[in-house]
Amino acid sequence: MSILESVKGDLVVAMKAGEKERVGTLRLLLSELQKAAKEGSDDELAVVRRERKRRAEAERALRDGGRPELADAEAAEAAIIKVYLPVELDDAQLQEMVERAVAQSGAQSPGDMGKVMGLVMAEVAGRADGKRVSEQVRAALAVA
């Protein structure tokens, strides 16, 4: 079942249950997924990741701006959206992937970061944020 179909089904359930916040978030996510499909993009995970990232950034900005009630609403939306993403890799799994990619690419210095990032991001396949991967790769190459 595609993410789009899953969101549609969950939206119907949320509407019947009268969950206003959940309905609003799912409608927004459904709209973004449909828009991406209309534009020819078939990467639903990228859309879901982008929407979750937007909510996380908005939450941080609102907390920094002294608006905790609005930040909590953004965090709640991010939690609803996160359900449609694959399970995140833990640090140990990510570290293992990075070490394997460093060995495979023969990277010796931080200048080789691009080679390693390409290998790791292909293997990660959306199960870790690029920023997290970048930090791990940078640390591994600083030691190498």
Domain 91-143 belongs to what topology? Arc Repressor Mutant, subunit A (1.10.10)
Q: What is the pTM of this model?
A: 0.75
Query: What residue spans of the chain are helical by DSSP H?
Result: 3-17, 20-38, 44-64, 68-82, 91-105, 113-124, 130-143
What are the residue boundaries of the structural domains of the chain, listed by start?
Answer: 3-82, 91-143
Query: What span, in angstroms and rounded, lies between the C-alpha atoms of 111 and 3?
Result: 38
pLDDT at residue 5, as a whole number: 95
- What confidence tens digit (pLDDT) does each residue in 19-57 have? 999 999 999 999 999 999 999 888 898 899 899 999 999
> In this structure, which CATH number among 1.20.58.220, 3.40.50.1820, 1.10.1510.10, 3.40.50.2300 belongs to the domain 3-82?
1.10.1510.10
What 3-state DSSP class applies to 85? coil
**Residue ranges in the chain modelled with pLDDT below 50:** none
The DSSP result for 114-132, as a single string, is HHHHHHHHHHHTTSS-HHH
Residue 138 to residues 34, 115, 132: CA-CA distances in angstroms? Answer: 37, 12, 10
